[in-house]
A and B are shown apart, each in its own frame.
Chain A
Amino acid sequence: MAKVKVAWFDFCCCEGCQIEMTNFGEPFLKLLELVEPVEFREAMSEKTTERINVSFIEGSFSREEDRVRLEEIRERSDVVVAYGACAVTGGINALKNHFEMDDYKEAVYGADKDMPHLDTQDAKPVSAAIKVDYAIPGCPIDKDEFLRVVTQLVHGTSKVYVPTYPVCLECKLRETVCRYDDGDHCMGQVALAGCGAPCPADGIPCEACRGFVENPNEKALEQVLQERGGLSAAWAKKKSQMFTANLRGDA
C-alpha cells in the first residue's frame, strides 16, 4: 500500500498541539509507519511543493496575508484537517475579538502598532479562509481523538464519525460526579464532546476548550451558572467567552 503523504502547517498558535503530537509516543510512531510526512516544522526541516494527501493545519487565521498561504495548502491537498482550538474555532487567540482592533494592537505592540509587518485582524478559524474537511478541536487536542480520526482517514474511511453532542454526555458515560453536585460550576452543557470529558473527571470545570456545540443554549448556561454555579450575573455572562469568540450569539 502506498504511504499516505501528510504535511503539517502552522499559523497563529502556540504550536502546543504539534508538541502534544510528538508526545504521543508509540502510537504516533506506528502512525508514522503508515504515512509519509513531507512537511513538519516542529520535527523536520525539508519543505515541499508536491501533492499532499492529508494536510494538518494548526493555528488561527489572523492576518489577511495568511489567506494566500492557506489557499495554496488547500490547492495542494486532497484532505484538509484543522486541528487544535486555534485552527478550529480561533481558539484562545480569538479572545482579542471581544475588543476593538485598535485597542488590542496598542496593548500588544504599543507605539509600533501600525508597522506593516505587525498587521493583524480578528482571529478566525481556518474555515473562514478555506474549506476544511475535518476538525479536531481542543486546547490542546486530545491525542486519542487525533489518532482515531487520522487512523480512519489514512485507511480510507470516507466519512469519519465525530460527536456533535455536549461534553455532559461523555461525562455521564464515565460516571463522573457532576461539578454542580460538588458545589462547583461547569460549561460541559454547551461544550463540544469528543475529548471524553477529562476535566470534570479530574475535579475541574469544563472550560469549553473545544468550542460550543452547534446550537449552544447560551441563555440557559448563563442562568445555570448563576443559579446553580453561584457566579455573579456579570461573570456568568462572560464566563464562556474564553474559547468561543467566533461561535457566540452575542458576538
Chain B
Amino acid sequence: MKTFFLSDGDLDEFVTNLIAKSPVFAPVAKKTRFVFNQLESVEDLRLDYDTTILPPKKLFVPTKQDLVTFEHGKYEECLAPGKKILFGVHPYDIKAISMMDWIHEESNFDIYYHSNRKATTIIGSNVQNHYKKAFFGSVCKELKVMGHDMFLTKIADGYLVEVLTKKGDDLLPDGNFTDVSKEQIKNAADVNTKADENCPSKLKNTSLEIKHKIRMYYDSDVWKKKSENCFSCGSCNIVCPTCYCFDIQDEWALEPTSGKRYRRWDACLTCEFSEVSVQGGSENFREERAERFRHRIMRKTSFLNDKLGGPACVGCGRCSGTCTADIADPVSIINEIMEK
C-alpha cells in the first residue's frame, strides 16, 4: 500500500481528470437524500453524503438488466462492460461489495456481474456524516474493508489517500499527490475509528452470540409481533447492499421474431417471491408475512455467516430508514431478542 496526501484544492482537479478519462459514478444529492449517479462535474460530488438510497451494487447488477436478446432464432448476450470509476464508496459498502464478489462466483460464476465489476475501479471514502440509522461500527467486524483500489479519508486541509492496487496506481498521474506525514496517517486512522464509534445506533453483542441466539428464536412469536405492520413491500431488501436475489423473465418484443431475457432485483419480503409452481398449480413456501420477515433477519444474522466469515449485514441502516412502517431496523430486532 502506498499513502499520499491530496489537498482540498487538488481534489477538484483529480476528479475532473477522472471524469475526462471514464464515466465516474459518485454520490450526488437528490432532494433530501443521495444517490450514486454519473458525475457531470466535480461540483455535484458530495463526499459529505450520509448514505445513498440504493447501494453501489447497482453498477454491477443494474436494477433491471437485459441478459440475452434474440432475433430470428439468433441470440446475443448483453455483455457490454464499459470502464468506469466508482468514487466515494463508504467502508460498509466496500465490505458489502466484497461479499457480492464472492456470492456471484460461489456456485455459479455470474459473468454479467463480474464483467462489470472487473471494469470498475473503486475509490472509497470515509463516512463524514452518519445516516440516522447507521450501525456499521458494531456489526460485521470480522470482515475487513477490502477489494477497493483507493481510499480517501478527509483530514485537515485535504485527504489521506491510500493506494491499494494496480488499478489505483494507474490513477496517480491524474492528481497532484504529495507526501504524507506520520501525523496525517494517524489522524486519518482516528477519523475512521471515530466514524465507527459515533454510529447513532449499536449492536451490543458479537456476531457469534447474535447468530446463535437468533437461530434459537426461530420458532418464537417475536416475528409475528414484529411484522404486524409489515406491508410486504420488499423495500428493505431492495435497498440492502448485501441482498442479491433477482427474478428472470422472458419477454417478446412487438415483432413476433425478437425478444429478450432480463433480470430484475427481487425481494424475499414480497409474497410472490416464495411462490413456486407445483404440478400445474402454485404453492407458497413462506405464505405468512412473519415467516418472510423472519427469513430476512435470519439471512442477515445467521444463515450466511459460515460462508461469508461474518454476518450478511454491514450496518448501513438503509433497510431501517426505508421502511415506512419503521419495523425493519435490524438493531432493534436483534437487541430485543438478545435482551430476552
* Contacts from A to B (Cβ < 8 Å): 1, 27, 30-31, 34, 147-148, 151-152, 154-155, 157, 161, 163-166, 168-169, 171-178, 180-182, 186, 188-190, 213-217, 219-221, 223-224, 228
Contacts and interface: CB of A to CB of B under 8 A. Distances in A.
A220 B251 contact: no
A223 B271 contact: no
Interface of B: 30-33, 35, 53-54, 63-64, 228-235, 238-239, 249, 251-256, 264-265, 267, 270-272, 289, 321-322, 324-326
A149 B234 CA distance: 24
A203 to B, nearest CB: 8
Contacts of A216: 231
A147 B308 CA distance: 43
Nearest to B33: A177
Given A177-B33, A217-B229, A165 B272 contact: yes
B17 to A, nearest CB: 28
Nearest to A161: B249
23 contacts: A30-B254, A31-B254, A34-B256, A161-B249, A165-B233, A165-B270, A168-B231, A169-B235, A169-B238, A173-B265, A174-B63, A175-B30, A175-B53, A176-B53, A181-B32, A182-B31, A186-B324, A189-B231, A189-B324, A190-B231, A215-B232, A216-B231, A217-B232
A34 B324 contact: no
Contact of B271 (A165, A168, A177, A228): A165
Given A168-B324, A172-B239, A220-B229, 13 more contacts: A30-B255, A164-B270, A165-B272, A166-B231, A166-B270, A169-B270, A173-B64, A173-B238, A174-B63, A215-B232, A223-B229, A224-B325, A228-B326
A166 B232 contact: yes
Contacts of B256: 1, 34, 154-155
Nearest to A163: B272
B230 A217 contact: yes
